[in-house]
Each structure stands twice: as C-alpha cells, then as structure tokens.
Structure 1
Amino acid sequence: MENISKYQFCPIRDVLSHLSDKWSLLVVIVLSRNGTMRFNEIQKDIEDISQRMLTVTLRSLEADGLINRKIYAEVPPRVEYELTPLGATLLNPLRGLVEWAQENTLTIHENRKKYTENKSL
C-alpha cells in the first residue's frame, strides 16, 4: 500500500468516513433486504435508531448517491427510499464483512474479555 498523506485526497478515508458510522451500513442492509421503504418502516426495522439519526443517515447516503429518495405529492406527503445501482454494488463487499464478523465475533468477544481482565490485574 502506498503511504497515505493527510494532505492528499484519500478515497479510502473519504468513503469509509461516511460508511463507518453506526447506522449507514444497517440502513443499506435493511433497504437491500426489503426494497423500497418508507421512513417509518426503516425506523421500525432498526429499532434503536432515533428519528434524527435516521434522517441524518438517509441524507448522507442520498448525498453519496447510495440511495434514492422519492417524494410523492400527496396529502399527507409520502416519501420512499431505495438503493441506487451504486448502493447495490456495496452489497457484495458488505456480505464479505458480515460473514467475517459472524465467523469471528465470538473470538473477538473472548479476546476483549481477556484484554479487560489482564488490564484489571
């Protein structure tokens, strides 16, 4: 890997800064699993996300071109979200990360426990 200077554009840092928060990948997963969804449906699927945080996350994903937001001129207004083709390309790498996490989560938790126990000695 090349040396990454903090003064030059870094695509890894740029993209991961948007996707590595607590909620973005969960929203992508939910939309990939369910297709087009309304705001409240997404919020029900991700039970512990606040309304404000879901709004911020959806705006960020929309700004990056990973999701589409469609507003219907109805009373009351209806808004739906779906993955874009670009957002769908994230699913294969994400599946690999999910599989890795599922395979290694017990070992990671055991290591954290050992680390905490060793630090308290």
Structure 2
Amino acid sequence: MTDDALLDREPLLRGNLMAAACPSREVLQHVTSRWGVLVLVALLGGGTQRFSELRRRIGGVSERMLAQTLQWLEADGFVQRTAHPVVPPHVDYQLTRLGREVAGHVRELADWIEGKMPAIQRERQRRLEAVAAPAAAKTRRARVAERA
C-alpha cells in the first residue's frame, strides 16, 4: 500500500508536510495564507470580535476573503464561530485553545518580520541596485553603439 493510501485510511499521529497527500499541507496553507496570518493575529490581540470589527482591523481584506478565511480556520479548529439568535444577525469569532496556540507562533513570526524590516528593506534595495546597474550599463552601451 502506498503512503498516500495509508494517509486516507488511518488517522494521523503526526503530519508530514513533505508528503504530497498529507492534510497538514492544507492546514499550513490556511494558517500561513496572507489573510490567515492576519486573522489569527487580530483575534489573538482582540479577543472575541464580530465580522465587521475584524474587517476594520485587517486593512484591505474583502468581505468574501475574510468569510472564506474564517471558514477555513473554523474547519481546522482554530476559530470558534458563535451565532446569536437575534435580528439582525450577530456572529462572534474567537480563537479556540488550539487557535491561541497557533496564533502565538504566527505572532512571533510577524513580530520577527516587523523587527527585521529595516534589514529586509536594505537587502531589497541592495538587490534592486545590483540588478539595475548591469541593465543601465547595457542601455548606455546600446546608445553609444547607435551613435557610432
């Protein structure tokens, strides 16, 4: 029996991200997606929040993407959705125990990135200049050749 077939039949004791059919890849995609990271960090810092509050906190996210991301994170057991039986509808979102754990790790990564932004920006600029210099020299040589 292949490893992929075993993954379909037996409960996992531990995921294997390197296995093509491992469901942990899908969870990793949900957690580390552009909006997944931001939703987890927003919920970690804000406790229970309504959809509209999350949307305001997370600049640039569309209603559709926020709804989809919340559904993924809820299905993975990271977010708890509570719908209150009132009119108009009132729905709250909060992290589960598992969600707080993963959000803590994601927050550490986000903090590291934010703290390293000056170094990252310097590297980006250095790379941009390294790529631009040969292109500029090639353009100058082409202009000189045209005049000759």
- Could you state the TM-score of these two structures normalised by the residue count of structure 1? 0.85
Structure with greater contact order relative to length (CA < 8 Å, sep ≥ 6):
1
Deviations 1:72-108 (A, max 9, x none): 1111111110000110111332233133213321111
- Tell me, in whole angstroms, the C-alpha distance in 2 between the residues paired with 1:5 and 1:87: 24
Sequence identity of aligned pairs in percent?
A: 35
1:94-105 mapped onto 2 (5 Å cutoff) = 94-105=106-117
- Tell me, in whole angstroms, the C-alpha distance in 2 between the residues paired with 1:50 and 1:3: 29
- Tell me, in whole angstroms, the C-alpha distance in 1 between the residues paired with 2:17 and 2:60: 38
Change (3 A) 1:115 1:93: same
Which residue of 2 is the match for residue 70 of structure 1? 82
1:40-119 mapped onto 2 (5 Å cutoff) = 40-119=52-131
For 2:106, the aligned partner's letter is L
Q: Tell me which moved more, 86-95 or 65-74.
A: 86-95
Deviations 1:46-82 (A, max 9, x none): 1211111111111111111100011111111111100
Change (3 A) 1:100 1:44: same
Which residue of 2 is the match for residue 9 of structure 1? 22
8 Å CA contact 1:67–1:84 kept in 2: the answer is yes
CA RMSD of aligned residues (A): 2.0
Tell which structure's C-alpha radius of gyration is larger.
2
Change (3 A) 1:30 1:4: closer
- Following TM superposition, where does structure 1 have runs of at least 4 consecutive aligned residues deviating by more than 4 angstroms? none
- Tell me, in whole angstroms, the C-alpha distance in 2 between the residues paired with 1:43 and 1:99: 21
Change (3 A) 1:104 1:55: same
- Tell me, in whole angstroms, the C-alpha distance in 1 between the residues paired with 2:86 and 2:17: 52
Structure with higher helix content: 2
Q: Which residues of structure 2 form unaligned runs of 5+?
A: 1-15, 135-148
- Could you state the TM-score of these two structures normalised by the residue count of structure 2? 0.71
Deviation at 1:3, TM superposition (A): 9.8
Q: How many pairs are equivalent?
A: 118
